[in-house]
């Protein structure tokens, strides 16, 4: 596959990260930078070094003028539907930042539109591409701890602390934007889809988010397994890694993520204790770089990528079921949302 031309939609902080990643990749040339904000466009010009003739006030204009091969969507979730539909109308594949949308109906509409257009549509759920979940899924497939019965995920960070962004001003963004990362990784690691969600959420007195930024989320999986996330997005104390600290319990022991390291432990009073650190594949790409490689590989091989929008609908249903449970206080079946 040769050099590809892309339009980047959304010129905020994440947009710059993707622009830098594409620039460093060498196989992608961003030929159009689109954002309705004059301020953002001029910042891209002055701080990113984007030529004036590559800046556009709309995605539609960028698509018409720059003849791209694909679209990279880093706009806020509420805008994703419009960007995706414009891409599909032009017959172009799209790589889209998570969450796919702030409304499940819009996410489903995008998936259906992409399918009708025959366009590849991938969502950037980069946490599942990290080394810890890859190694953990392999351990579970090998039966290292037997059939897992419980997954606990601890996540404490100072998240989205820039005043005025949609992360701060919109409700439920901690569940929608960060929760969907971890919920998708749960699905990947357990190789299963959840049945229901129960969430209790709240705000801490010093929190800077309009929406709740602390919660406990419990997902029921087939066979009785439970996955629990305990999370706070306005922690000013010791932070966990962005992937969180995990503990998975099985009849033969536990798999734990401890500050980015993975351990298998078996400790029972009738047996000699066992604790082994699992070597992670240092050559494996992680995060957004791995997402971009998977997307480009899917384009070159004309196949559905991992984290396709079709598959990501399940993660979106999981996430919106969690939000509904936080709102109502009841257990919400995933099927009720999807």
**pLDDT, tens only, 58-88:** 999 999 999 999 999 999 999 999 999 999 9
| Residue 162 confidence (pLDDT) | 85
- How far apart CA 334 and CA 218 sit, in angstroms, is 12
Model pLDDT for residues 266-313, shown as the tens digit of each residue: 988 777 889 999 999 988 899 999 999 999 999 999 999 999 999 999
Q: What is the pLDDT of residues 225-272, one digit of tens each?
A: 999 999 999 999 999 999 999 999 999 999 999 988 999 999 887 778
Closest CA to 145 of 283, 247, 38, 15: 247
Task: Read off the pLDDT of each residue in 179-185 and give the average, rounded to a whole number.
Answer: 94
Global pTM reads: 0.92
The answer to whether residue 118 scores a pLDDT higher than 60 is yes
Domains and CATH numbers, the chain: 4-119 (3.40.50.720), 130-284+317-337 (3.30.360.10)
Q: What is the pLDDT of residue 1?
A: 53
Strand partners, 275: 265
pLDDT category, 3, cuts 50, 70, 90? confident
Strand partners, 253: 250
Per DSSP, the chain holds a count of helices (H) and strands (E) of: 12, 15
Q: How far apart are CA 94 and CA 305, in angstroms?
A: 11
């Amino acid at each position: 596959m040769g050099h590809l031309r892309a339009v980047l939609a959304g010129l905020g902080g994440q947009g710059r990260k993707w622009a830098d990643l594409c620039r460093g990749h060498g196989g992608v040339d961003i030929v159009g930078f689109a954002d309705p904000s004059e301020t953002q466009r001029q910042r891209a010009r002055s701080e990113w070094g984007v030529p004036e003739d590559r800046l556009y006030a709309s995605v539609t204009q960028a698509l018409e003028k720059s003849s791209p091969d694909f679209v990279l969507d880093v706009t806020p979730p509420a805008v994703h539907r419009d960007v995706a539909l414009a891409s599909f109308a032009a017959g172009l594949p799209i790589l889209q930042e998570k969450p796919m949308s702030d409304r499940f109906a819009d996410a489903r509409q995008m998936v259906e539109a992409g399918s009708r257009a025959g366009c590849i549509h991938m969502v950037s759920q980069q946490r599942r591409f990290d080394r810890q979940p890859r190694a953990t899924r392999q351990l579970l497939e090998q039966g290292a701890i037997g059939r897992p019965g419980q997954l606990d995920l601890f996540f404490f960070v100072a998240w989205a602390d820039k005043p005025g962004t949609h992360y701060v001003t919109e409700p439920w963004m901690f569940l929608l934007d960060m929760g969907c990362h971890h919920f998708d990784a749960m699905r990947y690691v357990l190789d299963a889809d959840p049945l229901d969600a129960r969430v209790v959420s709240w705000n801490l007195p010093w929190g800077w988010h309009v929406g709740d930024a602390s919660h406990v989320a419990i997902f029921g999986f087939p066979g009785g397994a439970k996955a629990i996330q305990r999370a706070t997005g306005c922690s000013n104390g010791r932070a966990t890694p962005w992937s969180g600290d995990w503990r998975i319990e099985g009849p033969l022991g536990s798999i734990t993520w401890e500050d980015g390291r993975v351990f298998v432990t078996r400790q029972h009073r009738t047996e000699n204790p066992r604790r082994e650190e699992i070597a992670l594949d240092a050559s494996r790409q992680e995060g957004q770089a791995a997402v971009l490689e998977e997307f480009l590989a899917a384009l070159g091989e004309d196949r559905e990528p991992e984290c396709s929008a079709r598959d990501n609908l399940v993660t979106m249903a999981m996430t919106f079921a969690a939000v509904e449970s936080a709102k109502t206080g009841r257990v919400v079946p995933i099927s009720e949302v999807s």
